[in-house]
Amino acid sequence: MQAYERAVQQPAPQQQQPPRQPVQPSPAPQWSAAQEAAPEAVRAQPAAAEPFRWQLDPVDPSPRRQDAGGLLTDDDEAQLWLGADDDEASHRLSRSERRALKHDGYGDEHDRPKRRGGWGCLVGLLIVAALGAGAWFFLQGPISAVVERFTPAEDYTGSGTTEHVFMIHEGDTGSDIAENLVAEGVTASYDAFYDLLLKQTPEPEFHPGAYRLAEQMSAQAALDALLDPANKMENTFVIQEGMWASNALAEAAAVTGIPIEQLQAAAANPQAYGLPAEATSVEGFLFPATYTVDPGATADGVIKMLVDRSFQALDAAGVAPEDRWRTIVKASLIEREAGLRDDYYKVSRVIENRLNPELFDSGLLQFDSTVHYGLGDDSVVTTTDAEREDPANPYNTYVHPGLPPGPIGNPGDLAIDAAIHPADGPWLYFVTVNLDTGETVFSSTIEEHEAAVDQFLAWLDEHPEYGN
State yes or no: pLDDT of 366 exceeds 60. Answer: yes
Q: Which residue has the higher pLDDT, 224 or 42?
A: 224
pLDDT range class, residue 451, cuts 50, 70, 90 = very high
Q: CB within 8 A of 395, min separation 6: which ones? A: 370, 371, 373, 374, 404, 405, 408
State yes or no: pLDDT of 90 exceeds 50. Answer: no
State yes or no: pLDDT of 467 exceeds 90. Answer: no
pLDDT of residue 468: 55
How do residues 178-193 score in pLDDT, each as one tens digit?
Answer: 999 999 999 999 999 9
Q: CB within 8 A of 7, min separation 6: which ones? A: 54, 55, 56, 82
C-beta separation of 66 from 72 below 8 A: yes
pLDDT > 90 in the chain, percent: 56
State yes or no: pLDDT of 420 exceeds 70. Answer: yes
Task: Tell me whether residue 113 is exposed, middle or buried, using C-beta atoms within 10 angstroms of its C-beta: 0 to 12, 13 to 18, 19 or more.
Answer: exposed
pLDDT range class, residue 334, cuts 50, 70, 90 = very high
First to last CA, the chain: 89
Q: Give the rounded distance of the alpha carbon of 34 from its chain centre.
A: 100
How do residues 106-154 score in pLDDT, each as one tens digit?
Answer: 444 444 444 555 666 677 777 777 777 666 666 665 666 555 556 788 9
Average pLDDT, the chain: 80
How do residues 66-75 score in pLDDT, each as one tens digit?
Answer: 444 444 444 4
pLDDT > 70 in the chain, percent: 69
Going by C-alpha positions, the residue among 253, 255, 256 that lies closest to residue 267 is: 253
pLDDT range class, residue 103, cuts 50, 70, 90 = very low
Q: Which residue has the higher pLDDT, 111 or 310?
A: 310
C-beta separation of 93 from 82 below 8 A: no
pLDDT of residue 207: 87
State yes or no: pLDDT of 22 exceeds 70. Answer: no
DSSP 433-453: EETTTTEEEEESSHHHHHHHH
C-beta separation of 414 from 242 below 8 A: no
CA distance 12 to 52: 13
Q: Which residue has the higher pLDDT, 54 or 423?
A: 423
State yes or no: pLDDT of 219 exceeds 50. Answer: yes
State yes or no: pLDDT of 322 exceeds 80. Answer: yes
C-beta separation of 223 from 193 below 8 A: yes
State yes or no: pLDDT of 263 exceeds 60. Answer: yes
pLDDT of residue 147: 56
C-beta separation of 393 from 317 below 8 A: no
Residue 56 amino acid letter:
L
CA distance 123 to 258: 79
Encode 55-70: b = buried (16+ Cβ within 10 Å), e = exposed: ebeeeeeeeeeeeeee
